[in-house]
Structure 1
Amino acid sequence: MNIDKFKHEHVAILSAIDQLRTLARSGVAAQAQAIAEQVVAMSGLVKLHLAVEQRVLYPAVQACGVARVARLGRQYETEMQGIAGDYLAFAGRWNTAVRLAQEPDAFRSEANLVLHALYQRMRREETELYPAVEAI
């Protein structure tokens, strides 16, 4: 299975996270409109990536015929449900400039938790899941 598309999507998502961090460092209230727009744009990338993983990657990995890799695919799919839910809730809360301007500290706190979890997950996929898939 060719997973280059997934890797390219990770690069795009990580770039979007970096752009969001840059904006937040300039001041959440001062950059509220730009941050809200970035959250919306990033959500499109993340949702597309999650949908393709769910429809294509996980079923293919679980049906690969290599027990260890299939188990890994199931584990990753199960774990992603929680991470995806947390991210989607975050994106739904922080996609308006008004809310960002009113609660900049809450945004920073939640962004640090949710985006760090998303970042860590993508790194694990790149170092554990993707190499296992490429090896079969």
Structure 2
Amino acid sequence: MRPTETYRKHHQELRAIASRIEAVLDAAAITADPSAAVVAVRELFGKFSIHLALEDNSLYPRCLRHDDLDLRQIATRFQTEMGDLGTRFDSYKRSWPGPLAIARNPPQFVADTITVLALLKTRVAREESEFYDIVDKVA
């Protein structure tokens, strides 16, 4: 089993959740019934919070202390470039804690959700294409 296998599985799950969210991102439908969006977003909150905590508190710190210079450099670069994703995601969660908040402004919820999903997808894609393979190779 590759050292990044758990993280890669999380990424698959996050992509699936993102697809479910994107399928319900219609302001008119959310106005009529926000429940489908709420369920999908809550699932994202749970999975992504765990995933970020594991990466930011375990994987990245280990890579930053590793003997391999290339791994340390890429981990540093990724942490610098994408380090505020957790903060942005926390802000998103505070803005949209449940159905009442979402129902108050569905168009803004849709816009904010599109933004946070784009950030998530970018991080996932870059980690898989630029970072995880190096982690697996030197581990």
**Structure 2-normalised TM-score?**
0.89
Q: Within 5 Å, which residues of 2 pair with 1:98-117? A: 98-117=100-119
Distance 1:30 1:17 in 2: 21
Q: Which moved more, 1:29-38 or 1:4-13?
A: 29-38
Structure 2: how far apart are the matches of 1:70 and 1:31? 47
Decide whether the 8 Å contact of 1:61 with 1:73 is kept in 2: yes
Letter in 2 for 1:32: P
Counting only pairs closer than 5 Å after superposition, residues 67-78 of structure 1 correspond to structure 2 as: 67-78=69-80
Quote the offset at 1:130 in angstroms: 0.5
**2:88 counterpart (83, 86, 89):** 86
Structure 1 pair 14/31, CA: closer, same or farther in 2 (3 Å)?
A: farther
Identify the residue that residue 57 of structure 2 maps to in structure 1. 55
Asked if the contact 1:33/1:96 (under 8 Å) is kept, the reply is: no
| Secondary structure of 1:29 counterpart | helix
Counterpart amino acid of residue 76 in structure 1: F
Which residue in 2 is equivalent to 1:42? 44
- Distance in 2, matches of 1:22 and 1:134, equals 34
- Segment of structure 1 superposing worse, 44-53 or 69-78: 69-78
Normalised to the residue count of structure 1, the TM-score between the two structures is: 0.90
Q: CA RMSD in A?
A: 1.6
- 1:24 aligned residue: 25
Instruction: Report the alpha carbon displacement of residue 133 of structure 1 after superposing the two structures with TM.
Output: 0.9
Q: Is the 1:83–1:117 Cα contact (8 Å) retained in structure 2? A: yes
